[in-house]
Amino acid sequence: MSNIVIIGGGAAGWMTAIYAKHLYPESKVTVVASEEIGILGAGESTTPMFVDFLDIVKIPFYELIKNCGASIKVAARFSNWDKDSNYYYNSFSGEEELAISELNSFIDPVNQYHSRATVYSIGKNDKQSEFDLNSALADNNTFPFSLNGSRIGHFSLNFDARLAADYFKKVATEDRGVLYINDEVTSFDSDNDGNIIKINCKNNIIDSDFVFDCSGFKRLLIGRHYNSEWKSYSEYLPADKAFPFFLSHDQVGQSVVPYTDAIAMKYGWMWVTPLQHRYGCGYVFDSSYISVEDAKKEVEEYFGFEVSPPKPGLFFEFNPGMYKKVWIKNCIAMGLSAGFIEPMEATAILSNLHSLKKLPHNINDLINSDQNSKDIFNKQYELEQEEILSFIYLHYVTNREDTPFWKDFTKNNKMTRFIEGILEKNKDSMLEYKDFEDTKMFALENYLFVLQGNGILNLDPYLYEFQNTYSDEENKSYELFKIRKSLAVQYSANWQEMLEMVKYQYDEVK
């Protein structure tokens, strides 16, 4: 029996343990983490890939709603990123939603249909919610379930990170046969090839055939033990600190909404994430402009009342970037242990899930992987991080000029080659699906949402495309498409209705 050890007891560590037991059921899977040290517990938002993960490991998403204070998210809303006080959505509408709606008769494949529908909407200068289902749901404050209980689109979850870690721990240890050792790691023993064969703790010695480093920002293995080279992205993204805090529903002025909010501030941005029992919030900022104390004051000026972190004086600082090698010998770093760019677009958990997805499906292939397989894994991780870097950078390309941070952002911070190419083409041409064939994390629509929302999309090529290439039949089809979306929103459920329907269906199945 192979010994798989996960170091770290946060949500990422327990998710990795559950997935490892799913892939390698005959292996002994052990999580070692110290309750005295605790976890950061910062990440509370996800993308639809997280719901896919739950489906794979056979955990009903409703379990997180019951146990982790979870809410449903259909989009990220970006407020005040242009000169005005408007907002836009980066929504989760996409291929599956259109397939469900059976409106893909004119364009094949479905993803090209959705991209062309985006071009159609931009060419007509339609409001985003007129054509995009999830944006319309967000504006209507309803959720992707119809009143008869059927699911009508992509969604993800927001959850309380500490409650989620506890819940995944319970599932792993009580239902999936994962072992848990409450102890603090002190050192590692390696064989002659550098593979970790023993994990030494204060009170235990644990044998290992393969190790997953889920130790978060401590980065005990890939960083401290193996000294993998760090690749910093600070020349692209200057934000390096975050001030987290919680707000009640009454303080925010609303209960559970179907979106997270990313609000542009003077020297960065603020996340506002709805949960059932509170809002999780935080200001991500460039500390070369303001201190933590000044960031707190700016937040309090925005809301009009005093705010406090979950623990006195709590903030976290980070150097955006990644390790060049996240798989070394018999160890893979997952989540924050492998790298971190910044909280925007919930990419930390997304990266973790992509790494899990790439694991070999046979335990022998994992333990006995050759260097070529490890190099391919490391290169794929690097390409994914560079894509995330580019997409996040694009959010900061705006028309804001109210502070030096915004006015000089593209002057002071290096632009990725991919974004340089996108912005150059945007000057006189329409962005097309083929421009994003190599992207894995985000699609054409996501880039168009951000470009248009930030007021920097050149609309002329899209207007020309709409006026000169769309047939009357196609135009009628798209108008019908929008009408059907409108009807879907009209019959979508509010939060309480959705809770009752999902709970009823879940209890019936159970």
Predicted confidence at residue 243, as pLDDT, reads 92
- Rounded distance between C-alpha atoms, residue 349 and residue 347, angstroms: 6
Predicted confidence at residue 274, as pLDDT, reads 96
Name beta bridge partners: 181. Answer: 32
Please give the order of strands across the beta sheet that includes 241-247: 87-91, 75-79, 259-264, 268-274, 279-285, 241-247, 316-317
Predicted confidence at residue 471, as pLDDT, reads 84
**For the chain, which residues make up each domain, given as ranges?**
3-70+159-232+321-369, 88-154+395-490, 241-317
Residue 30 contacts residue 42 (beta carbons within 8 Å):
no
Reported as a single tens digit per residue, the pLDDT across 155-192 is 999 999 999 999 999 999 999 999 999 999 999 999 99
Q: What's the whole-model pTM score?
A: 0.93
- Rounded distance between C-alpha atoms, residue 301 and residue 475, angstroms: 47
CATH architecture of 3-70+159-232+321-369: 3-Layer(bba) Sandwich (3.50)
| DSSP per-residue letters across 323-364 | ES-SEETTEEE-GGGTEE--SGGGHHHHHHHHHHHTS-SSHH
Residue with tokens 């749901």: 137
Reported as a single tens digit per residue, the pLDDT across 438-492 is 888 898 889 999 999 999 999 999 888 888 888 888 788 778 778 878 888 888 9
The tokens of 419 are what? Answer: 């974004």
Beta strands 259-264 and 75-79, pairing class? parallel
| Residue partners of 65: CB distance under 8 A and separation at least 6 | 71, 72, 157, 276, 499, 502
Predicted confidence at residue 105, as pLDDT, reads 32
- Rounded distance between C-alpha atoms, residue 160 and residue 42, angstroms: 9
Would you give per-residue pLDDT tens digits along the chain (510 residues)? 899 999 999 888 999 999 999 999 999 999 999 887 655 555 589 999 999 999 999 999 999 999 999 999 999 999 999 987 799 999 987 533 333 333 333 223 334 455 677 778 888 888 888 888 899 999 999 999 888 778 887 899 999 999 999 999 999 999 999 999 999 999 999 999 999 999 999 999 999 999 999 999 999 999 999 999 999 999 999 999 999 999 999 999 999 999 999 999 999 999 999 999 999 999 999 999 999 999 999 999 999 999 988 877 778 899 999 999 999 999 999 999 999 999 999 999 999 999 999 999 999 999 999 999 999 999 999 999 999 999 999 999 999 999 999 999 999 999 999 999 999 999 999 998 889 888 888 988 899 999 999 999 999 998 888 888 888 887 887 787 788 788 888 889 999 998 887 776 666 544
